[in-house]
Amino acid sequence: MKVIHLILGKANPERMNGVNKVVHALATQQHRAGWDVEVWGITRDVEAGHPRHEFLTRLFRAQRTPFQLSRELLAALAAVQAPAVVHLHGGFVPAYYSAARQLKALGVPYVLTPHGSYSTQAMRKNGLVKRVYLSVCEQFVLQNAAQVHCLGQSEVQGLQRRLPGLNPCLLPYGYEVNPSETIWPRTASAEIFRVGFCGRLDDNHKGLHCLITGFGEFARTRPDAELWIIGDGPDRAKVETWASAVPAGTVHVLGSRFGPEKLALLSQLDVFAHTSHYEGLPTAVLEAAALGIPCVVTEATNLGSYVRQYECGQVLPEAKPTQLATSLQQMHQQWRSTTRQQRGLHSQHMVATAFAWPQLLTQYHSMYQRACHA
């Protein structure tokens, strides 16, 4: 069985694009397991390079009209031979509507992973446009998918509210722990309590105003605290303005970091905070947890159940500054205790157990087989 992942982009893990990171990791693991897997990317620039992939990557030029597919992509889809499944990644993508109609006409099954696009909070942004698009185009993509695959419970609930008859598959993606990058939970520093965030600087998505404001409430009584914000994005100017209102010197906006440089910064944290309003499943939390960093997450990250099960941090019902400040106070009280070290070890155990690729690949294979026989 051939698996073809169709994405917007080039599956470049060194970009502030969570979908591309996830697809890169998934295709890499599938290739290493001996699968026949390819990634097809729709991109404005098919000439510019990308990091070398272990799997085959094919790039197709994005067209001026968002619903239009290039002649090369249409020909490639027409040449797909059974048994095969095409895996679409992302929601509200006009090109996917055209691809879904083409695949249905060809009799080629496809799987759709929305990556958080249908959660209640995500639907509020440009809500009227999305509701119209859902009824005119996206509903076709969803109802004709051989399998709709959700990464977290919030998206399952959001989908079933809009399309009650839909029965999505709930399955997270995995995380590969590289032994050379593993850092055992560090001893608390003598003077500074470091809280960190890593991700795209998009407040509507990542809850950055809550992160900075909540940290500010906490920092007013804890002058030994710092907040490190790693990343870039459309709201960087807002983030820097909000940061300037926090007690002087406590918030550092560090910009984008990748690879070993990013891991070196994450390894210096005492707590990783992710106050998203909606998510599929945030890779950054798993990266921090794999380093033994206890986490504070919102329920909307879809990681709350894991954090509670493995006792490796705090879970906020919503992205509210006061809730974050209270959780950080509790984490600070455990800062130099054995509890902090235990939570760090529990974080690593969570990643190694709940997000282990070998067992998840078996479940992905079953999902694709169901799709092929739907």
Q: What is the per-residue pLDDT across 115-142, written as a single tens digit (0 to 9) for each?
A: 988 887 888 888 899 999 999 999 999 9
281 and 339 in a single domain? The answer is yes
31 and 92 in a single domain? The answer is yes
* Total structural domains within the chain: 2
- The per-residue pLDDT of the chain, averaged, comes to 92
19 and 132 in a single domain? The answer is yes
d(CA 344, CA 312): 7
Dihedral angle sign, alpha carbons of residues 256, 259, 261, 264: positive
pLDDT for 338: 73
d(CA 97, CA 300): 27
Q: Which residue has the higher pLDDT, 160 or 319?
A: 319
Confidence of residue 339 (pLDDT cuts 50, 70, 90): confident
Range of the domain at 135: 2-174+356-372
64 and 137 in a single domain? The answer is yes
pLDDT for 191: 78
Percent of the chain with pLDDT over 70: 96
Q: Which residues of 290-299 are buried (b: 16+ CB within 10 A; e: fewer)?
A: bbbbbbbbbb
310 and 331 in a single domain? The answer is yes
156 and 286 in a single domain? The answer is no
Residue 209, C-beta contacts closer than 8 angstroms, at least 6 positions apart: 203, 238, 242, 321
Q: Residue type at 329? A: Q
With the CA atoms of 167, 10, 71 and 3 taken in that order, what torsion angle do they form, in degrees rounded to the nearest 10? -40
| 279: pLDDT strictly greater than 60 | yes
| 67: pLDDT strictly greater than 60 | yes
Going by the DSSP 8-state scheme, the letter that residue 136 receives in this structure is: I
- Specify the CATH number for the domain of residue 312: 3.40.50.2000
Q: What is the per-residue pLDDT across 157-202, written as a single tens digit (0 to 9) for each?
A: 888 888 888 889 999 999 998 765 555 555 545 578 999 999 999 9
| 48: pLDDT strictly greater than 70 | no
d(CA 87, CA 90): 10
Q: Which residue has the higher pLDDT, 15 or 88?
A: 88
218 and 96 in a single domain? The answer is no
Q: What is the per-residue pLDDT across 288-299, written as a single tens digit (0 to 9) for each?
A: 999 999 999 999
Q: What is the per-residue pLDDT across 6-29, written as a single tens digit (0 to 9) for each?
A: 999 998 887 767 899 899 999 999
d(CA 179, CA 183): 9
236 and 170 in a single domain? The answer is no
91 and 141 in a single domain? The answer is yes
342 and 360 in a single domain? The answer is no
pLDDT for 181: 56
pLDDT for 183: 56
336 and 188 in a single domain? The answer is yes
* Lowest mean pLDDT, pick from 56-70, 72-86, 180-194: 180-194
* Number of helices followed by number of strands (H, E) in the chain: 16, 13
158 and 191 in a single domain? The answer is no
Tally Cβ neighbours within 10 Å of residue 158: 22
| 113: pLDDT strictly greater than 60 | yes
pLDDT for 189: 53
Maximum CA extent, the chain: 65
- Using CA atoms, how far residue 42 sits from 9, 45, 70, 145, 366, in Å, is 6, 9, 9, 20, 27
pLDDT for 83: 96
| 50: pLDDT strictly greater than 80 | no
Q: What is the per-residue pLDDT across 193-236, written as a single tens digit (0 to 9) for each?
A: 999 999 999 999 999 999 999 999 999 988 889 999 999 999 99
Confidence of residue 343 (pLDDT cuts 50, 70, 90): confident
d(CA 203, CA 308): 25
